[in-house]
Amino acid sequence: MKNRGIYVGVLAAFTMLLLFSLGSGVWGGSDGVHWTEQLFMGVCHQLPDRTFTFMGERMAVNTRCFGIFLGLWIGWVVIPLFNDKIAEKKWPLFCLLFAGLLQIIDYSGNLFLLWENTNSSRFVLGTPLGFFSSLIIADLFQSK
């Protein structure tokens, strides 16, 4: 693997992102808005009814964002295991586009009252979006 230092640095950043997204259940409660919620205010709508709880406390991000963050982390962890399967291949891009299409379908179905998406469905559909996002840039870390 080339760029091992950058790979490890990004892995550490994704790990912190995942830990911070767990919210005050990990970092302790506070009066008012928790600092982890403030951290994600610009990237997540944080609606309470669309948010999982962790250790009895509401997480700092909604379920779809948490799924994306978990998918990013899992995808990043498996990059070294997929060396020859992702190097200069187009399938991760097609999978990412499909995962994005699933988000649009899920949102549209809920919008047009065809079905009601749930916290679990948002999480399950967010995870592959994050996972394949990581694999898209994995090529930068492969030895040629």
pLDDT value of position 6: 87
Strand partners, 57: 54
Instruction: Answer whether residue 106 shows pLDDT above 60.
Output: yes
The whole-number average pLDDT for the span 85-89 is 76
Structure confidence at residue 84 (pLDDT): 74
What percentage of the chain exceeds 90 in pLDDT?
A: 67
**Amino acid 143: pLDDT:** 59
Element (H, E) at 121: helix 119-136
Of 106, 109, 99, 116, the residue nearest 49 (C-alpha):
116
79 DSSP 8-state letter: G
pLDDT at residue 9 is higher than 80:
yes
Burial environment of residue 109 by CB neighbours within 10 A (0 to 12, 13 to 18, 19 or more): middle
Cα(76)–Cα(22) distance, integer angstroms: 19
Tokens of 89: 């291949």
117-134: average pLDDT? 96
Average pLDDT rounded to a whole number, residues 9-26: 94
Domain that holds residue 127: 4-141
Packing angle of the helix pair 63-78, 4-21 (nearest 10 deg): 160
Report the number of distinct structural domains present in the chain. Answer: 1
Tell me what percent of the residues of the chain surpass a pLDDT of 70.
Answer: 93
Q: Is the pLDDT of residue 68 over 70?
A: yes
Q: What is the pLDDT of residue 129?
A: 97
pLDDT band at 87 (very low <50, low <70, confident <90, very high): confident
Most confident of 29-33, 65-69, 86-90: 65-69
